[in-house]
Structure 1
Amino acid sequence: MQEEIIERIILKTVDIPSLPPIAMKVMGLIYDDHASLKALEEIISRDQGFATRLLRIANSPYYGRDRKIENISQAILLIGFETLKSLVIATSLRDLYRNFGVFEQRLWEHSLGVALCSSLLAMATQMVTSDEALVCGLIHDVGKTVINNAMPEVYFQIYEKMYKENRPVIEIEDETLGFNHTLIGNLIAKKWKLPEKLEMVITYHHTNPYPDYEDQAFADICNIVRVADQICLNLGIGLKEPFITQIDFESLGLTEDAINELIGLFKIKFDQQKDYLLS
Protein backbone atom coordinates (compact mmCIF):
# COMPACT_ATOMS: atom_id res chain seq x y z
CA MET A 1 0.00 0.00 0.00
CA GLN A 2 2.81 2.41 0.91
CA GLU A 3 4.52 1.64 -2.42
CA GLU A 4 1.32 2.54 -4.31
CA ILE A 5 1.04 5.88 -2.45
CA ILE A 6 4.70 6.71 -3.21
CA GLU A 7 4.20 5.77 -6.86
CA ARG A 8 1.15 8.06 -7.16
CA ILE A 9 3.11 10.95 -5.62
CA ILE A 10 5.99 10.39 -8.02
CA LEU A 11 3.80 10.15 -11.11
CA LYS A 12 2.10 13.44 -10.22
CA THR A 13 5.52 15.11 -10.10
CA VAL A 14 7.56 13.38 -12.80
CA ASP A 15 6.60 12.03 -16.20
CA ILE A 16 8.00 8.52 -16.65
CA PRO A 17 8.95 8.24 -20.34
CA SER A 18 8.14 5.28 -22.58
CA LEU A 19 10.75 3.23 -24.38
CA PRO A 20 11.20 4.87 -27.83
CA PRO A 21 9.41 3.13 -30.78
CA ILE A 22 12.64 2.07 -32.50
CA ALA A 23 13.85 0.48 -29.28
CA MET A 24 10.57 -1.40 -28.80
CA LYS A 25 10.75 -2.80 -32.34
CA VAL A 26 14.38 -3.86 -32.05
CA MET A 27 13.84 -5.47 -28.65
CA GLY A 28 10.79 -7.31 -30.04
CA LEU A 29 12.83 -8.74 -32.92
CA ILE A 30 15.74 -9.73 -30.68
CA TYR A 31 13.39 -11.77 -28.50
CA ASP A 32 11.64 -13.34 -31.55
CA ASP A 33 13.25 -16.72 -32.28
CA HIS A 34 11.98 -16.57 -35.87
CA ALA A 35 13.25 -13.07 -36.66
CA SER A 36 16.01 -12.79 -39.25
CA LEU A 37 19.18 -10.73 -39.18
CA LYS A 38 17.89 -9.01 -42.34
CA ALA A 39 14.69 -7.89 -40.58
CA LEU A 40 16.70 -6.50 -37.68
CA GLU A 41 19.02 -4.69 -40.07
CA GLU A 42 16.06 -3.10 -41.90
CA ILE A 43 14.48 -1.81 -38.70
CA ILE A 44 17.76 -0.31 -37.43
CA SER A 45 18.55 1.25 -40.82
CA ARG A 46 15.30 3.27 -40.64
CA ASP A 47 16.65 5.22 -37.67
CA GLN A 48 19.74 7.08 -38.84
CA GLY A 49 20.72 8.19 -35.35
CA PHE A 50 20.59 4.69 -33.90
CA ALA A 51 22.36 3.16 -36.92
CA THR A 52 25.14 5.74 -36.66
CA ARG A 53 25.66 5.03 -32.96
CA LEU A 54 25.70 1.28 -33.58
CA LEU A 55 28.43 1.63 -36.22
CA ARG A 56 30.38 4.07 -34.07
CA ILE A 57 30.42 1.67 -31.12
CA ALA A 58 31.28 -1.33 -33.35
CA ASN A 59 34.30 0.66 -34.59
CA SER A 60 35.30 1.99 -31.17
CA PRO A 61 38.52 0.99 -29.37
CA TYR A 62 36.36 -1.08 -27.00
CA TYR A 63 36.16 -3.82 -29.65
CA GLY A 64 39.72 -3.36 -30.91
CA ARG A 65 39.06 -4.35 -34.53
CA ASP A 66 41.72 -3.89 -37.22
CA ARG A 67 39.24 -3.54 -40.09
CA LYS A 68 36.44 -1.01 -40.30
CA ILE A 69 32.86 -2.18 -39.73
CA GLU A 70 30.86 -0.53 -42.50
CA ASN A 71 27.32 -1.93 -42.35
CA ILE A 72 24.64 -2.82 -39.81
CA SER A 73 24.75 -6.60 -40.31
CA GLN A 74 28.52 -6.67 -39.70
CA ALA A 75 28.06 -4.57 -36.57
CA ILE A 76 25.33 -6.87 -35.21
CA LEU A 77 27.43 -9.98 -35.87
CA LEU A 78 30.44 -8.36 -34.18
CA ILE A 79 28.75 -7.18 -31.00
CA GLY A 80 26.14 -9.96 -30.73
CA PHE A 81 22.44 -9.90 -29.77
CA GLU A 82 23.06 -9.56 -26.03
CA THR A 83 25.18 -6.47 -26.51
CA LEU A 84 22.69 -5.13 -29.06
CA LYS A 85 19.98 -5.29 -26.39
CA SER A 86 22.26 -3.31 -24.14
CA LEU A 87 22.95 -0.80 -26.90
CA VAL A 88 19.22 -0.32 -27.54
CA ILE A 89 18.73 0.55 -23.88
CA ALA A 90 21.82 2.77 -23.87
CA THR A 91 20.65 4.67 -26.95
CA SER A 92 17.20 5.13 -25.44
CA LEU A 93 18.85 6.47 -22.30
CA ARG A 94 20.98 8.87 -24.36
CA ASP A 95 17.82 10.22 -25.98
CA LEU A 96 16.46 11.15 -22.54
CA TYR A 97 19.04 13.96 -22.35
CA ARG A 98 16.77 16.50 -24.01
CA ASN A 99 18.30 19.59 -22.41
CA PHE A 100 21.98 18.94 -22.98
CA GLY A 101 23.83 21.65 -21.09
CA VAL A 102 26.91 21.42 -18.89
CA PHE A 103 25.09 19.73 -16.00
CA GLU A 104 23.48 17.14 -18.31
CA GLN A 105 26.87 16.51 -19.93
CA ARG A 106 28.31 15.72 -16.51
CA LEU A 107 25.46 13.36 -15.64
CA TRP A 108 25.98 11.53 -18.93
CA GLU A 109 29.76 11.41 -18.56
CA HIS A 110 29.41 9.95 -15.07
CA SER A 111 27.12 7.20 -16.37
CA LEU A 112 29.58 6.42 -19.16
CA GLY A 113 32.45 6.28 -16.67
CA VAL A 114 30.56 3.90 -14.39
CA ALA A 115 29.70 1.77 -17.42
CA LEU A 116 33.31 1.39 -18.53
CA CYS A 117 34.60 0.89 -14.98
CA SER A 118 31.91 -1.76 -14.33
CA SER A 119 33.02 -3.56 -17.48
CA LEU A 120 36.64 -3.63 -16.29
CA LEU A 121 35.60 -4.83 -12.83
CA ALA A 122 33.57 -7.62 -14.44
CA MET A 123 36.60 -8.73 -16.43
CA ALA A 124 38.79 -8.63 -13.31
CA THR A 125 36.37 -10.57 -11.09
CA GLN A 126 34.66 -12.83 -13.67
CA MET A 127 31.42 -12.37 -11.70
CA VAL A 128 29.35 -11.28 -14.72
CA THR A 129 30.05 -10.65 -18.39
CA SER A 130 31.72 -7.36 -19.27
CA ASP A 131 28.94 -6.38 -21.71
CA GLU A 132 26.27 -6.95 -19.07
CA ALA A 133 28.22 -4.86 -16.57
CA LEU A 134 28.67 -2.13 -19.18
CA VAL A 135 24.95 -1.56 -19.70
CA CYS A 136 24.14 -1.95 -15.98
CA GLY A 137 26.65 0.78 -15.20
CA LEU A 138 25.34 2.95 -18.00
CA ILE A 139 21.72 2.87 -16.87
CA HIS A 140 22.19 2.85 -13.08
CA ASP A 141 21.39 6.57 -12.69
CA VAL A 142 18.53 6.78 -15.21
CA GLY A 143 16.30 8.17 -12.44
CA LYS A 144 18.53 11.26 -12.12
CA THR A 145 18.10 12.04 -15.81
CA VAL A 146 14.31 11.82 -15.63
CA ILE A 147 14.11 14.00 -12.50
CA ASN A 148 16.41 16.56 -14.11
CA ASN A 149 14.26 16.63 -17.25
CA ALA A 150 11.14 17.19 -15.15
CA MET A 151 12.55 19.87 -12.85
CA PRO A 152 16.02 21.02 -13.96
CA GLU A 153 16.19 24.09 -11.69
CA VAL A 154 15.18 22.11 -8.60
CA TYR A 155 17.57 19.28 -9.40
CA PHE A 156 20.47 21.65 -9.91
CA GLN A 157 19.66 23.17 -6.50
CA ILE A 158 19.74 19.67 -4.98
CA TYR A 159 23.30 19.25 -6.24
CA GLU A 160 24.25 22.73 -5.00
CA LYS A 161 22.92 21.78 -1.57
CA MET A 162 24.91 18.54 -1.68
CA TYR A 163 28.15 20.49 -2.18
CA LYS A 164 27.24 23.11 0.40
CA GLU A 165 26.20 20.66 3.13
CA ASN A 166 28.63 17.84 2.28
CA ARG A 167 25.91 15.19 2.20
CA PRO A 168 24.98 12.39 -0.26
CA VAL A 169 22.70 13.49 -3.09
CA ILE A 170 20.22 10.68 -2.44
CA GLU A 171 19.69 12.04 1.09
CA ILE A 172 18.89 15.52 -0.24
CA GLU A 173 16.60 14.11 -2.95
CA ASP A 174 14.52 12.35 -0.29
CA GLU A 175 14.47 15.48 1.84
CA THR A 176 13.57 17.86 -1.01
CA LEU A 177 11.31 15.72 -3.21
CA GLY A 178 10.01 13.01 -0.90
CA PHE A 179 11.58 10.37 -3.17
CA ASN A 180 14.94 9.73 -4.85
CA HIS A 181 16.40 8.72 -8.18
CA THR A 182 16.42 4.99 -7.36
CA LEU A 183 12.63 4.99 -6.91
CA ILE A 184 12.17 6.87 -10.19
CA GLY A 185 14.56 4.45 -11.86
CA ASN A 186 12.61 1.48 -10.54
CA LEU A 187 9.41 2.81 -12.13
CA ILE A 188 11.22 3.31 -15.45
CA ALA A 189 12.66 -0.22 -15.32
CA LYS A 190 9.17 -1.63 -14.80
CA LYS A 191 7.61 0.51 -17.55
CA TRP A 192 10.35 -0.41 -20.04
CA LYS A 193 10.13 -4.10 -18.99
CA LEU A 194 13.88 -4.21 -18.47
CA PRO A 195 15.61 -7.45 -17.44
CA GLU A 196 15.48 -8.11 -13.71
CA LYS A 197 19.22 -7.60 -13.23
CA LEU A 198 18.99 -4.08 -14.65
CA GLU A 199 16.04 -3.32 -12.39
CA MET A 200 18.00 -4.54 -9.37
CA VAL A 201 21.01 -2.36 -10.19
CA ILE A 202 18.90 0.74 -10.83
CA THR A 203 17.00 0.23 -7.57
CA TYR A 204 19.74 -0.98 -5.21
CA HIS A 205 23.06 0.53 -6.34
CA HIS A 206 23.09 2.72 -3.21
CA THR A 207 21.71 0.07 -0.84
CA ASN A 208 24.03 -1.79 1.49
CA PRO A 209 23.34 -4.41 2.69
CA TYR A 210 21.17 -5.50 -0.21
CA PRO A 211 17.90 -7.42 -0.01
CA ASP A 212 18.18 -11.21 0.06
CA TYR A 213 18.56 -12.37 -3.53
CA GLU A 214 17.51 -15.76 -4.83
CA ASP A 215 20.25 -15.38 -7.44
CA GLN A 216 23.75 -14.44 -6.23
CA ALA A 217 24.36 -12.86 -9.64
CA PHE A 218 22.04 -9.99 -8.63
CA ALA A 219 24.21 -9.19 -5.61
CA ASP A 220 27.36 -9.52 -7.73
CA ILE A 221 26.27 -7.02 -10.39
CA CYS A 222 24.98 -4.57 -7.77
CA ASN A 223 28.35 -4.73 -6.00
CA ILE A 224 30.24 -4.19 -9.26
CA VAL A 225 28.22 -1.11 -10.21
CA ARG A 226 28.37 0.28 -6.66
CA VAL A 227 32.19 0.01 -6.59
CA ALA A 228 32.46 1.50 -10.11
CA ASP A 229 30.22 4.38 -8.98
CA GLN A 230 32.45 4.97 -5.93
CA ILE A 231 35.57 5.02 -8.11
CA CYS A 232 34.07 7.48 -10.61
CA LEU A 233 32.77 9.81 -7.88
CA ASN A 234 36.20 9.91 -6.24
CA LEU A 235 37.90 10.60 -9.59
CA GLY A 236 35.35 13.29 -10.48
CA ILE A 237 34.21 11.51 -13.67
CA GLY A 238 31.27 13.66 -14.69
CA LEU A 239 30.12 14.60 -11.21
CA LYS A 240 32.32 14.62 -8.11
CA GLU A 241 30.88 14.39 -4.62
CA PRO A 242 32.30 16.84 -2.03
CA PHE A 243 33.68 13.98 0.05
CA ILE A 244 35.86 10.93 -0.59
CA THR A 245 33.88 7.70 -0.69
CA GLN A 246 35.53 4.58 0.66
CA ILE A 247 35.83 2.05 -2.16
CA ASP A 248 34.36 -1.27 -1.08
CA PHE A 249 36.76 -3.42 -3.14
CA GLU A 250 36.59 -6.27 -0.61
CA SER A 251 32.96 -6.97 -1.63
CA LEU A 252 34.39 -8.03 -5.01
CA GLY A 253 37.14 -10.17 -3.51
CA LEU A 254 39.82 -7.74 -4.69
CA THR A 255 42.90 -6.50 -2.82
CA GLU A 256 43.82 -2.84 -2.44
CA ASP A 257 46.73 -3.30 -4.85
CA ALA A 258 44.42 -4.92 -7.42
CA ILE A 259 41.82 -2.13 -7.21
CA ASN A 260 44.51 0.57 -7.50
CA GLU A 261 45.91 -1.15 -10.60
CA LEU A 262 42.42 -1.36 -12.09
CA ILE A 263 41.77 2.33 -11.38
CA GLY A 264 44.95 3.23 -13.24
CA LEU A 265 43.85 1.13 -16.23
CA PHE A 266 40.36 2.64 -16.10
CA LYS A 267 41.70 6.21 -16.27
CA ILE A 268 43.73 5.33 -19.38
CA LYS A 269 40.81 3.49 -21.05
CA PHE A 270 38.31 6.26 -20.29
CA ASP A 271 40.56 8.93 -21.78
CA GLN A 272 40.97 6.76 -24.90
CA GLN A 273 37.29 5.95 -25.37
CA LYS A 274 35.29 8.87 -24.01
CA ASP A 275 35.13 10.69 -27.36
CA TYR A 276 33.41 7.66 -28.88
CA LEU A 277 31.16 7.21 -25.88
CA LEU A 278 30.15 10.82 -25.35
CA SER A 279 29.09 11.54 -28.96
Structure 2
Amino acid sequence: MQEDVIEKIILKTVDIPSLPPIAMKVMNLIQDDYASLSVLEETISRDQGFVTRLLRIANSPYYGQDRKIEDIKQALLLIGFETLKSLVVATALRDLHRKFDAFEQRLWEHSLGVALCSSLIAMVTRLAKPDEALVCGLIHDVGKTIINNSMPDVYPKVYEKMYETGETVRDIENEMFGFDHTVLGALISKKWKLPEKLEMVITYHHTYPFPDYEDAAFADICNIVRVADQICNNIGIGLKNPLDIPIDYVSLDLTEEALVELIGLFKIKFEKQKDTLLS
Protein backbone atom coordinates (compact mmCIF):
# COMPACT_ATOMS: atom_id res chain seq x y z
CA MET A 1 0.00 0.00 0.00
CA GLN A 2 2.82 2.40 0.90
CA GLU A 3 4.45 1.72 -2.49
CA ASP A 4 1.20 2.63 -4.27
CA VAL A 5 0.99 5.92 -2.39
CA ILE A 6 4.60 6.80 -3.20
CA GLU A 7 4.08 5.88 -6.86
CA LYS A 8 1.08 8.21 -7.05
CA ILE A 9 3.14 11.02 -5.50
CA ILE A 10 5.95 10.39 -7.99
CA LEU A 11 3.69 10.30 -11.04
CA LYS A 12 2.05 13.58 -9.97
CA THR A 13 5.46 15.22 -9.55
CA VAL A 14 7.71 13.71 -12.19
CA ASP A 15 7.33 13.07 -15.90
CA ILE A 16 8.86 9.65 -16.60
CA PRO A 17 9.88 9.46 -20.26
CA SER A 18 9.69 6.30 -22.33
CA LEU A 19 12.83 4.47 -23.36
CA PRO A 20 13.58 5.59 -26.96
CA PRO A 21 12.09 3.27 -29.64
CA ILE A 22 15.51 2.22 -30.95
CA ALA A 23 16.56 1.23 -27.44
CA MET A 24 13.40 -0.83 -26.90
CA LYS A 25 13.87 -2.62 -30.24
CA VAL A 26 17.50 -3.49 -29.49
CA MET A 27 16.64 -4.66 -25.95
CA ASN A 28 13.92 -6.95 -27.35
CA LEU A 29 16.27 -8.36 -29.99
CA ILE A 30 19.01 -9.08 -27.47
CA GLN A 31 16.55 -11.06 -25.35
CA ASP A 32 15.30 -13.02 -28.39
CA ASP A 33 17.23 -16.28 -28.65
CA TYR A 34 16.42 -16.47 -32.36
CA ALA A 35 17.53 -12.94 -33.31
CA SER A 36 20.54 -12.90 -35.62
CA LEU A 37 23.55 -10.62 -35.43
CA SER A 38 22.70 -9.23 -38.87
CA VAL A 39 19.19 -8.18 -37.74
CA LEU A 40 20.64 -6.53 -34.65
CA GLU A 41 23.25 -4.77 -36.76
CA GLU A 42 20.60 -3.51 -39.21
CA THR A 43 18.40 -2.22 -36.37
CA ILE A 44 21.24 -0.33 -34.68
CA SER A 45 22.36 1.18 -38.00
CA ARG A 46 19.08 3.13 -38.19
CA ASP A 47 20.22 5.39 -35.35
CA GLN A 48 23.41 7.17 -36.37
CA GLY A 49 23.81 8.79 -32.97
CA PHE A 50 23.82 5.40 -31.28
CA VAL A 51 26.20 3.97 -33.89
CA THR A 52 28.62 6.83 -33.28
CA ARG A 53 28.60 6.31 -29.50
CA LEU A 54 28.90 2.54 -29.84
CA LEU A 55 31.98 2.82 -32.05
CA ARG A 56 33.48 5.53 -29.84
CA ILE A 57 33.20 3.32 -26.77
CA ALA A 58 34.44 0.24 -28.65
CA ASN A 59 37.54 2.21 -29.65
CA SER A 60 38.06 3.83 -26.24
CA PRO A 61 41.14 3.16 -24.10
CA TYR A 62 38.80 1.24 -21.77
CA TYR A 63 38.64 -1.69 -24.20
CA GLY A 64 42.34 -1.39 -25.07
CA GLN A 65 42.15 -2.74 -28.62
CA ASP A 66 45.25 -2.70 -30.84
CA ARG A 67 43.18 -2.31 -34.00
CA LYS A 68 40.51 0.25 -34.81
CA ILE A 69 36.90 -0.94 -34.69
CA GLU A 70 35.27 0.50 -37.79
CA ASP A 71 31.84 -1.11 -38.09
CA ILE A 72 28.91 -2.22 -35.97
CA LYS A 73 29.52 -5.94 -36.40
CA GLN A 74 33.07 -5.69 -35.09
CA ALA A 75 31.86 -3.61 -32.16
CA LEU A 76 29.15 -6.12 -31.29
CA LEU A 77 31.60 -9.00 -31.37
CA LEU A 78 34.03 -7.06 -29.17
CA ILE A 79 31.56 -5.74 -26.61
CA GLY A 80 29.18 -8.72 -26.44
CA PHE A 81 25.41 -8.92 -26.12
CA GLU A 82 25.18 -8.44 -22.35
CA THR A 83 27.31 -5.31 -22.37
CA LEU A 84 25.45 -4.07 -25.44
CA LYS A 85 22.15 -4.42 -23.54
CA SER A 86 23.47 -2.16 -20.81
CA LEU A 87 25.10 0.18 -23.32
CA VAL A 88 21.74 0.71 -25.02
CA VAL A 89 20.29 1.86 -21.72
CA ALA A 90 23.32 4.04 -20.97
CA THR A 91 23.04 5.70 -24.38
CA ALA A 92 19.36 6.36 -23.77
CA LEU A 93 20.32 7.88 -20.41
CA ARG A 94 22.85 10.15 -22.10
CA ASP A 95 20.10 11.37 -24.42
CA LEU A 96 18.00 12.33 -21.39
CA HIS A 97 20.50 15.09 -20.58
CA ARG A 98 18.82 17.60 -22.84
CA LYS A 99 19.86 21.04 -21.64
CA PHE A 100 23.38 20.32 -20.45
CA ASP A 101 23.74 23.46 -18.37
CA ALA A 102 26.41 23.65 -15.65
CA PHE A 103 24.34 21.70 -13.10
CA GLU A 104 23.38 18.97 -15.55
CA GLN A 105 27.00 18.72 -16.67
CA ARG A 106 27.98 18.00 -13.07
CA LEU A 107 25.29 15.33 -12.71
CA TRP A 108 26.56 13.58 -15.84
CA GLU A 109 30.20 13.95 -14.83
CA HIS A 110 29.45 12.36 -11.46
CA SER A 111 27.71 9.41 -13.14
CA LEU A 112 30.67 8.99 -15.47
CA GLY A 113 33.10 9.15 -12.56
CA VAL A 114 31.17 6.49 -10.63
CA ALA A 115 31.09 4.36 -13.80
CA LEU A 116 34.85 4.44 -14.31
CA CYS A 117 35.56 4.01 -10.60
CA SER A 118 33.14 1.06 -10.37
CA SER A 119 34.88 -0.60 -13.31
CA LEU A 120 38.27 -0.14 -11.67
CA ILE A 121 37.03 -1.52 -8.32
CA ALA A 122 35.54 -4.53 -10.12
CA MET A 123 38.86 -5.18 -11.84
CA VAL A 124 40.85 -4.88 -8.59
CA THR A 125 38.49 -6.90 -6.39
CA ARG A 126 37.24 -9.35 -9.05
CA LEU A 127 33.79 -9.13 -7.49
CA ALA A 128 32.09 -8.25 -10.81
CA LYS A 129 32.84 -7.88 -14.51
CA PRO A 130 34.47 -4.48 -15.15
CA ASP A 131 32.34 -3.73 -18.24
CA GLU A 132 29.11 -4.48 -16.36
CA ALA A 133 30.27 -2.36 -13.42
CA LEU A 134 30.99 0.49 -15.84
CA VAL A 135 27.40 0.66 -17.07
CA CYS A 136 25.89 0.02 -13.62
CA GLY A 137 27.83 3.02 -12.35
CA LEU A 138 26.82 5.11 -15.33
CA ILE A 139 23.10 4.58 -14.80
CA HIS A 140 22.96 4.46 -10.97
CA ASP A 141 21.62 8.04 -10.60
CA VAL A 142 19.03 7.95 -13.39
CA GLY A 143 16.44 9.06 -10.83
CA LYS A 144 18.27 12.36 -10.34
CA THR A 145 18.30 12.98 -14.08
CA ILE A 146 14.56 12.43 -14.38
CA ILE A 147 13.77 14.68 -11.40
CA ASN A 148 16.00 17.41 -12.81
CA ASN A 149 14.38 17.14 -16.25
CA SER A 150 10.94 17.54 -14.65
CA MET A 151 11.92 20.32 -12.22
CA PRO A 152 15.05 22.04 -13.61
CA ASP A 153 14.43 25.18 -11.53
CA VAL A 154 13.90 23.23 -8.30
CA TYR A 155 16.28 20.26 -8.28
CA PRO A 156 19.56 22.25 -8.17
CA LYS A 157 18.29 23.66 -4.86
CA VAL A 158 18.62 20.15 -3.39
CA TYR A 159 22.36 20.36 -3.94
CA GLU A 160 22.58 23.94 -2.70
CA LYS A 161 20.95 22.82 0.55
CA MET A 162 23.33 19.86 0.74
CA TYR A 163 26.34 22.20 0.50
CA GLU A 164 24.85 24.52 3.13
CA THR A 165 23.62 21.98 5.71
CA GLY A 166 25.61 18.80 5.12
CA GLU A 167 22.40 16.78 4.84
CA THR A 168 22.40 13.94 2.32
CA VAL A 169 20.78 14.39 -1.09
CA ARG A 170 18.30 11.59 -0.30
CA ASP A 171 17.19 13.22 2.95
CA ILE A 172 16.66 16.57 1.23
CA GLU A 173 14.80 14.93 -1.68
CA ASN A 174 12.47 13.22 0.79
CA GLU A 175 11.89 16.51 2.61
CA MET A 176 11.15 18.42 -0.60
CA PHE A 177 9.36 15.81 -2.74
CA GLY A 178 8.23 12.95 -0.49
CA PHE A 179 10.51 10.46 -2.28
CA ASP A 180 14.16 10.17 -3.27
CA HIS A 181 16.03 9.34 -6.46
CA THR A 182 16.46 5.65 -5.60
CA VAL A 183 12.71 5.15 -5.14
CA LEU A 184 12.05 6.95 -8.42
CA GLY A 185 14.85 4.94 -10.03
CA ALA A 186 13.17 1.69 -9.00
CA LEU A 187 9.94 2.85 -10.67
CA ILE A 188 11.79 3.87 -13.83
CA SER A 189 13.53 0.49 -13.92
CA LYS A 190 10.19 -1.28 -13.92
CA LYS A 191 8.63 1.07 -16.48
CA TRP A 192 11.61 0.58 -18.80
CA LYS A 193 11.84 -3.17 -18.08
CA LEU A 194 15.56 -2.90 -17.37
CA PRO A 195 17.71 -5.96 -16.65
CA GLU A 196 17.36 -6.91 -12.98
CA LYS A 197 21.01 -6.17 -12.19
CA LEU A 198 20.59 -2.55 -13.30
CA GLU A 199 17.35 -2.23 -11.35
CA MET A 200 19.07 -3.47 -8.18
CA VAL A 201 21.97 -1.03 -8.53
CA ILE A 202 19.66 1.92 -9.23
CA THR A 203 17.54 1.02 -6.20
CA TYR A 204 20.19 -0.06 -3.66
CA HIS A 205 23.40 1.85 -4.43
CA HIS A 206 23.12 3.62 -1.06
CA THR A 207 22.09 0.51 0.91
CA TYR A 208 24.47 -1.58 3.02
CA PRO A 209 24.19 -4.34 3.89
CA PHE A 210 22.15 -5.50 0.91
CA PRO A 211 18.51 -6.37 1.85
CA ASP A 212 17.99 -10.04 2.78
CA TYR A 213 14.73 -10.17 0.84
CA GLU A 214 16.45 -9.40 -2.49
CA ASP A 215 18.63 -11.75 -4.57
CA ALA A 216 22.03 -11.74 -2.85
CA ALA A 217 23.71 -12.36 -6.22
CA PHE A 218 23.49 -8.61 -6.84
CA ALA A 219 25.00 -7.55 -3.50
CA ASP A 220 28.58 -7.21 -4.76
CA ILE A 221 27.82 -4.99 -7.74
CA CYS A 222 25.56 -2.76 -5.63
CA ASN A 223 28.32 -2.41 -3.04
CA ILE A 224 30.93 -1.66 -5.70
CA VAL A 225 28.81 1.20 -7.04
CA ARG A 226 28.11 2.40 -3.47
CA VAL A 227 31.82 2.67 -2.64
CA ALA A 228 32.62 4.21 -6.06
CA ASP A 229 29.95 6.83 -5.34
CA GLN A 230 31.57 7.56 -1.96
CA ILE A 231 34.98 7.94 -3.61
CA CYS A 232 33.66 10.34 -6.24
CA ASN A 233 31.84 12.43 -3.63
CA ASN A 234 34.94 12.47 -1.44
CA ILE A 235 37.16 13.86 -4.21
CA GLY A 236 34.46 16.11 -5.69
CA ILE A 237 33.72 14.44 -9.04
CA GLY A 238 30.62 16.23 -10.36
CA LEU A 239 30.37 18.51 -7.33
CA LYS A 240 31.21 22.16 -6.63
CA ASN A 241 33.44 20.98 -3.82
CA PRO A 242 34.38 17.62 -2.24
CA LEU A 243 32.28 16.12 0.54
CA ASP A 244 34.03 14.96 3.68
CA ILE A 245 32.44 11.51 3.94
CA PRO A 246 33.94 8.15 4.96
CA ILE A 247 34.76 5.59 2.27
CA ASP A 248 33.69 2.07 3.25
CA TYR A 249 36.65 0.28 1.64
CA VAL A 250 36.58 -2.42 4.34
CA SER A 251 33.30 -3.77 2.92
CA LEU A 252 35.24 -4.64 -0.25
CA ASP A 253 38.07 -6.29 1.74
CA LEU A 254 40.47 -3.52 0.71
CA THR A 255 43.18 -2.05 2.92
CA GLU A 256 43.64 1.68 3.40
CA GLU A 257 46.85 1.46 1.33
CA ALA A 258 44.98 -0.30 -1.48
CA LEU A 259 42.29 2.40 -1.37
CA VAL A 260 44.86 5.21 -1.72
CA GLU A 261 46.44 3.40 -4.67
CA LEU A 262 43.05 2.79 -6.27
CA ILE A 263 42.01 6.44 -5.95
CA GLY A 264 45.29 7.58 -7.51
CA LEU A 265 44.81 5.24 -10.46
CA PHE A 266 41.17 6.29 -10.80
CA LYS A 267 42.07 9.98 -11.06
CA ILE A 268 44.47 9.20 -13.91
CA LYS A 269 41.93 6.99 -15.74
CA PHE A 270 39.15 9.56 -15.28
CA GLU A 271 41.18 12.33 -16.91
CA LYS A 272 42.13 10.05 -19.82
CA GLN A 273 38.72 8.50 -20.49
CA LYS A 274 36.06 11.00 -19.47
CA ASP A 275 35.85 12.62 -22.92
CA THR A 276 34.81 9.27 -24.45
CA LEU A 277 31.51 9.20 -22.57
CA LEU A 278 31.01 12.90 -21.87
CA SER A 279 30.63 13.69 -25.57
Task: Please give the range of the TM-score, normalised by the shorter of the 2 chains.
Answer: over 0.9
Q: Distance in 2 between matches of 1:135 and 1:200?
A: 13
1:1-279 matches, cutoff 5 A: 1-213=1-213, 215-239=215-239, 243-279=243-279
Give 1:126's aligned amino acid: R
Stretches of 4+ moved more than 6 A in 1?
none
Moved more, 160-169 or 88-97: 160-169
5+ residue gaps, structure 1, are none
RMSD: 1.2
Q: Distance in 2 between matches of 1:215 and 1:161?
A: 35
Kindly provide the CA deviation profile for residues 103-122 of structure 1, in whole angstroms up to 9, marking residues without a partner as x: 11110010011011001111
Q: Distance in 1 between matches of 2:25 and 2:242?
A: 42
SS of 1:207 mapped into structure 2: coil
Contact 1:166 1:242 in 2 (8 A): no
Q: Distance in 2 between matches of 1:111 and 1:152?
A: 18
Kindly provide the CA deviation profile for residues 202-245 of structure 1, in whole angstroms up to 9, marking residues without a partner as x: 11111233311554331111110000000001111112566311
Moved more, 10-19 or 241-250: 241-250
Calculate percent identity across the aligned residue pairs.
76
Give 1:209's aligned amino acid: P
5+ residue gaps, structure 2, are none
Q: Distance in 2 between matches of 1:39 and 1:25?
A: 11
* Deviation of the 1:35 alpha carbon: 1.1
Kindly provide the CA deviation profile for residues 225-267 of structure 1, in whole angstroms up to 9, marking residues without a partner as x: 0000000011111125663110000111111111111111111
Q: Distance in 2 between matches of 1:209 and 1:177?
A: 26
SS of 1:68 mapped into structure 2: coil
* Deviation of the 1:190 alpha carbon: 0.6
Contact 2:26 2:88 in 1 (8 A): yes
Q: State how many pairs are aligned.
A: 279
SS of 2:96 mapped into structure 1: coil
Q: Distance in 2 between matches of 1:202 and 1:40?
A: 27
Mark the CA change 1:184 to 1:227 in structure 2 (over 3 Å): closer, same or farther: same
SS of 1:95 mapped into structure 2: helix
Give 1:6's aligned amino acid: I
SS of 1:98 mapped into structure 2: coil
Contact 1:136 1:225 in 2 (8 A): yes
Contact 2:233 2:242 in 1 (8 A): no
